[in-house]
Structure 1
Amino acid sequence: MKHLLLVESNESIAGIQACKEMGYTVTLLTQNIQHYLKGQPLESHPLRLVDYIHEVDTFNEEAVVDFVKAYHQANPLTGVMSFAEFYVVQATAAAHAIGVPTMQPLAAKNARNKYKSREICVQSGVPVPRSLLAGSIEEACRHAHSMGYPCIVKPCDGAMSIGVVFVNNERELRQAYDSYVNNRNFGRNLYGSTDVLIEEYAAGPLVSVEMVTYQGQDHLIGITDRRLVGFPYFVETGASFPVRLSHEAEIVEVVRRGLHALGVDFGPTHTEVALTPEGPKIIEFNPRMVGGPVPEMIKYATGIDLPREVLRMHMGEAPELTPSVSRGAASREFCSPVDGRLIEVTGLKELEGRADILRSHFIAAGREVSFPRSNFDWIGRVMVGGDDAEQAEQKCSEIQNTIGLHIAARPIS
C-alpha cells in the first residue's frame, strides 16, 4: 500500500480524508496534535482516520528532514507533502532528501520569500512591483521616502493578507509596522519574520493563476478573480472561476516566466497577479495549491478534483488535468463593518433547497467579530455554481443583497 507523510494539515482535514478514500496509508507529522483536537478525544475526531501520528517541531526544516529520513528507513514512504502554507518548504526539503516526487527545495523556498522572489523576477525581466526590504522601522521609513507615498507594507514571509497595509504617509507607515511587528502571530504558535517589504502600490484588479507543473509542462487549470475589501487592508471576500480575460495569454506567459525563473519544476502553484495599466505584475508566488473555496469551485467548473490530482502526482502517479465539464462557480465571503459581536445572520433560509448553492456556512451567533484586517476575519461564506463564472458571480451579488449581518458594535474606547 502506498504510504504518504503529511507535514501538518489544513483545518478541514479534507486532504487526509481524500488520502484515505484513495487507499493510502497516512502518517501525520504535527507540532501539537491538540491544535486539531482542541480537547476532543482522538477516537471521535476526523483525525482518527490517520494511521500514524508523530509530534515533531514541524516549523523547523532540519528537524522535519531528520525525522523523515529516519522514519523512511523503517516505514518506507511513497510521498511527502503538505497542503498547509507554512509547511511547504519543510515538506519539500524532506521529500527531496528521500528521493520522492517534489519541487526543487530552493524553488519552494524562494517562492515563499516574497523579497527573494522579487529579486529573481527583476533579474529575469519578469514584471513585479518595485520592492525594498526593511529590517527596522528606520529602514522602512527611508525606503518609503525614496520610493514615495502611497506604498504598501507587507511581511516578507506572510500569508492570509496578515500585515499587508496601504499607507499614505510616515505616520501610517509607523502604525502599520508597529502593528505587524507586535502582532505577527500566524496561528499554530508560528511567528513571522520582522522583515517587511516596502512596495510600490500596483493598482488594478487582482487575479490568481492556478497552474500545475508536471514532467516539464506547465498546465493552466484556470484564472480566478478576486474581490477585496477592508482598505487600507487587503482582505479577499469573493472569487469566481474560471474568468475569461482578453489578455489571458499575456498574463499566463508572465506567470510561466516567473515560475521558470524561480526554478519551479513540479507541483501546483498559485500565483497572484495585479492587472495594472502598465500590464500584469506578479504580486506573489505560492508553491502550493490554491486554498479556500477555490478547489471546490474548480471541481464544479471543470471536473478536475485538484487536491486528489496533486496527491496522485506526489505519490508518483500521473495527474489527470483534462476538464470533463465546462461551467462556472463563485464565492462570497462576508465580513463585519465594525468590531463587535454577531447577533444574527438573516436571509439564509432563502438559500435552503437551492441546487446551485454548493456550500453555505456562517459562524455561530454570539461570536466576537472584527472589521476585516486579514482573511481570518470572515463571518461566513456562500459558494454558488452557474453555467459560467459570470452567471455564478451575478448570483453571488444577488445573494449578498439578501443576507443581513446583525452586529452589536463594540464601544470605542
Structure 2
Amino acid sequence: MRLYVLARNPTDSVTEGFLPAARGLGLDVTLLTDQPDSHRRDHPDLEILECDVRDFRAVISRISAHHSPDAVFTNSDHLQTQAALAAEYFGLPGKDWRAALRTKDKAQMRRHLAASGADAVWAAELPAGHDPAELASLDAPFPCVVKPREGVASEDVMLVDGPEQLVRRCAEIQARRPGAALVVEEYLAGELCTLETLGDGRVRHVLGGFRTEVSAPPYFIEERLTFTPAHPPPVVDQVLAQLDALGVGFGACHTEFVVHEGRARLIEVNYRAIGDQCDLLLAQLLGIPLFEHILRTHLGEPLPTDLGARTDGRARLDYPCARIAGTLTAAPHAADVTAAGGVRLTYRPLRALGERHELHGTNRDFLGVIRATGTDQAAVDRAVAEFLAAHRWEITP
C-alpha cells in the first residue's frame, strides 16, 4: 500500500514517529516536500519528491503523475487542509477540509465557534497589507493577545496592554512576516492545558493531556508540560463539544485550552499529533502504538474501541530555553538515564554547540528537551530537577 506523507521541514514526529510506524506497517512511503534536501540528509533511502506542498493542486498533480495512493497524510500544521483536499480528491479517508481550514485559520475558528453558539471570544482581524493604525480605534478588552492568523508554535504571539502597544506590535510582526494577516483577541485567563484525542470518525479516544507552564509576558513560550491522565470530566466534555462544533474528530488532534472557574475555552486547535517530542513521550507512556493507530485511520481502518492504554503513567517535559541571543558554548550531550523510583529520563539537544541564534520568543529558543516518565509524579519531578541542577547551558553573546 502506498502512503504519501506531506511535509515541510523535518520534525521529530515524522522522523522518529510516523516513518518508523509506516515501515512497521509495511507501507511504501513517498514523501512530498518543498524542502527535499533537508529530508534526504536524514532519509537517503526514502523516496522523496519535490513538490509545492502548500498548494493542494500541486499535491494532487504530483500524486496523479506517480503511483496510485492508498493514503495521504501530514502531521504539519501548515498542510492539513492541502492533505485533506488531496485525500478527498482521490476518494481516500481523511479529515474534512473545512474542519482543517477552521482550525488552521484562527480568525475563522473564532467566527465559527461564535456562530455555532459554542463559545464567543472577542476578536478582530487585520488583513494582510493593512495599516495597524486601523486597530487603534477598536473597543478592545485590554490586555489582548495579537498573533498571526495562521501561525504556529507561539511565534509572534504577544500580550499587549493598550492601543499604542497593539499598533506597535502589529507593525513589528508585519515587518517580520510581510503578507501575514493578524488576529487580535481577548486574553483568556486560566490554567493552560492540552487535550490529546484520536478518532476515526466513528469513535474518539481521549488520550489524556498536559498542564502547561509558559514564560513570563509578553511571550507565551511553553517551558514545561506535565502529563495528566484525565482532566475533570466536565472540562473534557466542554472541550469535546467545541471540537464537535468545529467538525474535528478524525485522526490525531492536539487542543490547547484554558480553564477558569470550571469553564474551558479554546486557545487553539492543532489538527495533528502534539509535537516537540510530546507525542514520542505519549506513545511510550501509554504503551500503545500511537503512530501506527494514527496512520491506520488514514488507511481507512477502524480504531479499536479499547486502545489498551496504560493509565498509571506520569510524565513531565522541560525545555531549557535561551534567554539571550548568541552562541551556545556549553550544554549537555544526549542522555538516557534511569533515575530513582524507576523514572526513565531522556535528554535530547535541539541546538548544536557552536551554533549562533537570535532570540525569537518562541520554541525556536529551545536548547533541548528533557522527557521523564514513571508512575509517581514526585519521583518524575525530582529526576528532572536533579538533571537540570547537574547540567548547564551557556550562551555567549
Opposite residue 359 of structure 1, the aligned amino acid is T
Opposite residue 105 of structure 1, the aligned amino acid is W
C-alpha distance in 2 between matches for 1:394 and 1:206: 23
Q: Secondary structure at the match of 2:153?
A: coil
Post-superposition CA distance 1:82-125 (Å, at most 9, x none): 01221111111101111111011111111111111111111222
Matches within 5 A, 1:41-190: 45-50=41-46, 52-68=47-63, 70-71=64-65, 75-127=67-119, 129-135=121-127, 136=130, 137-143=132-138, 146-184=139-177
1:396 corresponds to 2:384? yes
Opposite residue 37 of structure 2, the aligned amino acid is Q
Give aligned-pair identity as a percent: 24
In the alignment of these two chains, the number of paired residues is 385
Q: Secondary structure at the match of 1:225?
A: strand
| CA distance 1:286–1:350, shift in 2 (3 Å) | closer
| CA distance 1:388–1:301, shift in 2 (3 Å) | farther
- In structure 2, the partner of 1:19 is 22
| CA distance 1:104–1:338, shift in 2 (3 Å) | same
Shift of 1:175: 3.0
CA contact (8 A) 1:335 1:372 kept: no
C-alpha distance in 2 between matches for 1:98 and 1:122: 33
Shift of 1:372: 5.4
Shift of 1:209: 0.6
- In structure 2, the partner of 1:297 is 281
Opposite residue 26 of structure 2, the aligned amino acid is G
> Structure 2: any 5+ residue segments left out of the alignment?
none
- In structure 1, the partner of 2:327 is 341
| CA distance 1:27–1:351, shift in 2 (3 Å) | closer
Opposite residue 280 of structure 2, the aligned amino acid is E
Shift of 1:301: 2.0
- In structure 2, the partner of 1:284 is 268
1:360 corresponds to 2:376? no
Tell me the TM-score normalized by structure 2: 0.89
C-alpha distance in 1 between matches for 2:353 and 2:236: 43
CA contact (8 A) 2:328 2:395 kept: yes
Opposite residue 6 of structure 2, the aligned amino acid is V
Post-superposition CA distance 1:234-274 (Å, at most 9, x none): 111111223544xx212211221112111224211111101
- In structure 1, the partner of 2:236 is 252
Shift of 1:214: 1.7
1:327 corresponds to 2:313? yes
Shift of 1:148: 3.1
1:229 corresponds to 2:224? no
Opposite residue 301 of structure 1, the aligned amino acid is L
| CA distance 1:76–1:65, shift in 2 (3 Å) | closer
1:3 corresponds to 2:2? yes
Opposite residue 234 of structure 1, the aligned amino acid is F
- In structure 2, the partner of 1:187 is none
Matches within 5 A, 1:258-269: 258-269=242-253
Tell me the TM-score normalized by structure 1: 0.86
- In structure 1, the partner of 2:204 is 218
Q: Secondary structure at the match of 1:118?
A: helix
CA contact (8 A) 1:339 1:371 kept: yes
CA contact (8 A) 1:206 1:274 kept: yes
C-alpha distance in 1 between matches for 2:103 and 2:3: 24
Shift of 1:36: 2.7
- In structure 2, the partner of 1:188 is none
CA contact (8 A) 1:222 1:242 kept: yes
CA contact (8 A) 1:61 1:93 kept: yes
Post-superposition CA distance 1:174-202 (Å, at most 9, x none): 33212211213xxxxxx7x5221111111
